[in-house]
Structure 1
Amino acid sequence: MKLIVISGRSGSGKSTALQALEDVGFYCIDNLPALLLPELVSQILSDKDHPGQLAVSIDARNLQSNLKQFPAIFQQLKSNPDVDCEVIYLDSSEVTLLKRYSATRRKHPLSDDNQGLQEAISYERSLLEPVADLAAIRIDTTRLSLYELRDSIKLRIARRSAQELSLQFESFGFKHGVPLDVDFTFDVRCLPNPYWLPELRGHTGLEQPVIEFLEQQPSVQEMQDDIVTYLAKWLPRFEHNNRSYITIGIGCTGGQHRSVYISERLAGHFRTTMDNVQIRHRELN
C-alpha cells in the first residue's frame, strides 16, 4: 500500500495537496492523530478491498506529545514490507503565511490570548520539526497558486512509479530569494546576460531571440555540460540511497533569461533517460 503523510505549517496548502491526491485515487484523511496512524494502516491492510493508496494529514493540531513520537511511528511503518510510505512537507515564508491568514481572517490553531498570530506561526515551525526532518520532499508554496500546487502534487508525487526518482528543475532570480525547497543550487550569474541588450530585455529564456543569443556563447554550453556531468554522476547515488525527489535550482539575477534557458536544456537532457522530470520557472509564473 502507498502511504503519503502530508504535513506543514497552517496555511501552507495541506488541504489543497490532499484534494489533489484524492483526485487521483487516494483515500484521504485530514487531521489524523499521529498515534492512530499504525492502527489505521493495519485496519486498511486487513481489508482485502483496501484502496491501495492512502494519504493523511498530520500537523500542529496534533498533541505535542504525539508529534514527538512521530519519528518512531514512521520508522515502524517503514519496516512494514506491505507499506511504501513517505512524508511530504509543505511550507511558505512567514510573511506569506501572515498575509494568507490576514486575508481569510481564520484563527491559527496555535494562537490564543497569550500568543499572537506571528508568534504562533514561528512556534509551529519548531513544533513540526520531528515530522519535517523525515520529509522525502519539501514544497515551497510561497509563490505557488492553488492550481500550481495541485499540478505539482499530481505530477511529482501521485504519478511517480515506485522506486522512480522524481527530478525537478526550478529557475529563479537571486534578487527574489533562493527557493526554500531546492536540494542543489547552481548559480549561472557569471554567464553573458541578455538583459543588457535592449532588443532582448523584454524576451525570456523560452523565446527564440534569447535562445539564439545564449546558444552562441561558449561559456553557456560549458556551464550546461558541467552541470550535466555532475548530476549524471551523483543522481544515481542519491537514488540508490532511497531519495525519491530531487529539486535542482538554477539561479540568475532576475530569473528571466539565463536560468530559464539552462533549466530547459537540462530538463530536456534528463528526459531522455528519466520518466519523471518536471520544470518550473518561478519568476515567469
Structure 2
Amino acid sequence: MSYSDPSAGRMSMSIGALLDAARTWDLYDNSIDQPHPMPWFYTGARYENWWGSGVKFDQLHGLVKEHGIPVAWVPPADVLRLLVAAPDSHDAKLDVLVAAEADIRQLCHQRVTESDHDWLEDYPRTARLVMAAWDDGHVQAAACLALAGAEDLMFRVARVDRSKNYHGLTEEARREPSDWLPHLQLLLTPINTLFTSYFAHKNDPIPANLSRHAVLHTLPLDHLNHGHSIVAIMLLISLLRQAQQDAMESSEEWFEPE
C-alpha cells in the first residue's frame, strides 16, 4: 500500500481523531513501504516500537492475551510482525523470539539506558544485572532475576496497592482495552497469564504460557526454556521503561512553573 500520514500538517488532534489516525498508522509496514519518520502524534496512541510493524492493534492484543508476550516498548517492530505471522501455537511464537534474540536484546539494552530517572530507585541496576547475565549467555539466570525484579514494578506501574496482592494485580491485567488510549492496557495484559493459577502440591499441570508460580515454586527448567526466559526479561524491561515514562511525566507536572 502507499502510506499517507493522516496527521500531517496538524498542530493538534482530539482523542477521537488520534485513534482514527492510529488505525491508519497500524497499516504502515516498513518491510513493504518506503521508510517514513514516526509521526509526532504517534506515541500518544501507540508504543514507539510498533511503528512500521504493519500489525493492527487487535492482532497485538490477541498475541499478548493468548501468549503473554510483552509488546510495550519491546520487542522491535520486525519481531512483532513475525510473531503475528507465526502459527498460533505457543511454541511457534517462542521460536520467533529465540530466532530474533539478538535484535530483542539490543532493544532491551537501549530501553535500560533510557531508564535513568531518580525516582526509579534500584530498578535500573537490577535490569543492568539481568542484561549482563543475558549477554554472558545465562538467559535462564537472567530470567529468574527478571521475574523477581518485575514483581514490585508490576504493582507500581499498574498502580495497585500491594495489600491487594495478586488478585488486584490480575484484575487490572484482565481489563479489556478502553476507548481512551487503549494501547496502555497492553502493557499490563501479559501479567494475567503470568499469574495463571498453579499449585504444585496439587499436581496441577504446568501452564503452557510462562508461569510465575511454576518458576518461583518448582523451577522446572523445561518450562523456563529459552523462549520463556526471553519473555520474562522483556516483561521486566517493558515495565521498567513504562515506569521511566511515568516518572518523567509525573516530575514534569510536579515541577511545572506556576
Question: What TM-score range do you get, normalising by the shorter chain?
Answer: 0.3 to 0.5
Q: TM-score, normalised by structure 2?
A: 0.33
| Higher Rg | 1
Relative to its length, the structure with more helix (as a share) is 2
Whose strand fraction is larger, Structure 1's or Structure 2's? 1
Give the TM-score of the pair, scaled to structure 1.
0.31
